[in-house]
Amino acid sequence: MNKRSADEWIVLGISFLCLLGLAPFAVIRLTMGNHWVAVMDIFGAVCALSCFIYVWRTHQTRVIAPLIAIVSLAGMTSNIYRLGIDDLYFMYPVLIAAYFLLRPWPAVIATTLAVMVISLILVNQVSLFDTVKAMFSLLATVLFTFLFAWQRNRQHEELKQLSRVDALTGAGNRRALREQLDSLIHLHARDRQPMSLIFLDMDDFKVINDEFGHLVGDQVLKRVAELIQQRIRSTDYLYRYGGDEFMVLANHSDIATTHVLANDIRERVVQDRAVTGKAVSMSVGVSEYQMGETADQWLARADQAMYSAKDSGKNAVSIAELTPKEI
């Protein structure tokens, strides 16, 4: 069974609460003779039930979440038009729920529009003073909920970014590499554009740490990442794969083009002596993606090519075999 996302549980929970709240009121209003409002409640309950079943079965919320928000806002505005200020307090949870169903900026536009329409409705039903009080309390709810949702989303994006970036070098980490590999392999099945991996492993990095210390070793890693980033294209991606290992994902690049890129990176690194005054070399493996292979197989071929470069004497670039070996 697929694990449900937080967005799914939010939509399912709000749909269930709407159904739980609307169904009894529909019955009560039918018995009281408020047929129009009862029909609106029944319509809302049916929509809530349908959305619940759809999300439960499909796990899809992209269309359903905005639909629930719009129907809820429109339905409550209609009820206030029919029943007046007595039904106003139901609007507050609906306004708050909109920010769980929509992104902050679309939510603030939709909720503010609903408040403006309600204010026009109330001004013809109650005193100006009561209308202003209602409008102020509704707008305050909109503002505070928007600020909370905006701050929450901003922090979420920051945490997401931090979880995918190597703190020392600023390159992507192994998790980010895996996500990008899976994404590009999926796209490759459709567009068949070439793409290649460059596996770079520093030669004798332990000697640098032993001779100069780990702080200098960290500076060397940062410098190597800078040199790689300066050489690759804007469409390429750099990742720190391990302690002294880096990975470049060369998008839309065949094996010949990527081999030239890998050799240029190797030469830049070995010629640069900015940190220790001594040359730093790298052994490099290159592998082009083959249709049908998994990310692990693709990575393994690049890894095997890198070790071939080390076995040949280090400070070299080796191209992976065309057929993946058994993993």
Tokens standing for residue 206: 């332990």
Q: CA distances (Å), 6 to each of 61, 70, 155, 160, in order?
A: 10, 20, 16, 15
Nearest-angstrom CA–CA distance, 17 and 93: 11
Query: What one-character-per-residue DSSP string does 19-72 give?
Result: HHHHHHHHHHHHHHT-HHHHHHHHHHHHHHHHHHHHHHHH---TTHHHHHHHHH
Q: Give me the residues paired with residue 284 across strands.
A: 200, 317
Give the 3-state secondary structure of residue 207. helix
* Residue 236 main-chain phi, psi, to 5 deg: -95, 165
Residue 244: active-site member: yes
Q: What phi and psi, each to the nearest 5 degrees, are found at residue 238?
A: -110, 135
Sheet holding 317-319, edge to edge: 237-240, 245-251, 195-202, 282-288, 317-319
Residue of 203, 244, 264, 311 marked active site: 244
User: What's the first-to-final CA gap in the chain, in angstroms?
Assistant: 28
**Where do the DSSP E strands lie in the chain?**
195-202, 237-240, 245-251, 282-288, 317-319
Quote the CA–CA distance of 287 and 300 in Å, as a whole number. Answer: 9
Coil, helix or strand at residue 295: helix
Bridge partners (DSSP) listed for residue 318 = 285
Cβ-contact 291, 188 below 8 angstroms: yes
Catalytic residues: 244
